[in-house]
Amino acid sequence: MFDLVQQRLPDLITVFLGIFLEATPFLLVGVLVSSVLEIVVSEDRLLRWLPRNALVGLLGGVAVGAAAPLCECGTVPIARSCVSKGLPLPAAVGFLLAAPVINPVTVTATYTAFHSNLQILVLRVTLGIAIALAVGGLFLLWPRDEPALRVSRTGDPADSHHRHEHDHGCDQSRAKRVSLLARLLDLLHHSASELSSLAVYLIGACLVASLLQVFLPRTQLLSIGQGPLLSVLIMMAVAVILSTCSSVDAFVALAFSTTFAPGAILAFLLISPVLNLKSGALVLGLFRPGVAMPLLATSTAAVLLAALSINYHLL
């Protein structure tokens, strides 16, 4: 066993570095843009961009999500905060599901990774929008006076552990008094915190992908990866466990693209921003079970159905 590891170690390092170096620039861009939005753009301003009508708000939430370069770590707390300030739940769900999948950074990263197979990019964007609209549409039936958020002991909506310790959106008067240098330091501090958190997941995801590519026999990978149902279930499970940031998950998926069926690759790309260990925990921690469980269950079912339809050539 030791001889095998020693023999294939150069290949492992090469594959790992290939995935990691391709993904890192997009992680850096995603973290920087997300930090700028976190500090400069308040939830109050975001609320002004979204209609208060539930149906129109759902469409607006998906549209704003497509324009906001945020990963799932940022979208869940923002959606929670907007709901607490009166945004209709369908609009928040549409934003939450659309933003990490179809935002500019994710789309650019997916194009870079799959430029030789643009069908993956087109299907990711199309299905990402369709799933956000379908799942968000289910919450059009949610009563407006029914609370959707968990409440802390103090009576306020639960605070996200992923938000910065200073709430720039809620204290506009204080934010105006902060000097440009202090804002810049805040931005750097937030970016460093985000990067140190997400880099761990990226390194772990790249390592797992490279280990499977190097040490698992290709014939065995092909036999597993080409099963129309089993391949989808495996890649969905891998996405949940790896918890890769949506701005770089395309490069991890690319490592499996030659051995796994197209539906399985898309299942990985669609489910990762919705139900990985980070985003799933945030949704469960911030929203009431009556919202969180249907949201996660219907999103998972929609991704599974879409992936199977692709593998069985129904889409």
Q: What is the pLDDT of residues 45-71, one digit of tens each?
A: 666 666 778 888 899 889 988 887 777
What is the average pLDDT across 146-162? Answer: 57
Query: Exposed (0-12), middle (13-18) or buried (19+): which is 72, by Cβ within 10 Å?
Result: buried
Residue 161, pLDDT score? 42
Residue 126, pLDDT score? 96
Helix H or strand E encompassing 286? helix 277-286
Residue 314 neighbours by CB under 8 Å, 6+ apart? 308
Question: Is residue 296's pLDDT more than 90?
Answer: yes
Question: Is residue 157's pLDDT more than 90?
Answer: no
Residue 295, pLDDT score? 93
Q: CA–CA separation, 251 vs 17, rounded Å?
A: 12
Residue 235, pLDDT score? 92
Question: Is residue 127's pLDDT more than 50?
Answer: yes
Percent of the chain with pLDDT over 70: 81
Q: CA–CA separation, 288 vs 290, rounded Å?
A: 5
Residue 248, pLDDT score? 85
Q: CA–CA separation, 112 vs 29, rounded Å?
A: 14
Q: What is the DSSP letter of 140?
A: G
Q: CA–CA separation, 146 vs 202, rounded Å?
A: 38
Question: Is residue 148's pLDDT more than 50?
Answer: yes
Averaged confidence pLDDT in the chain: 80
Of the two residues 19 and 236, the one the predictor is more confident about is: 236
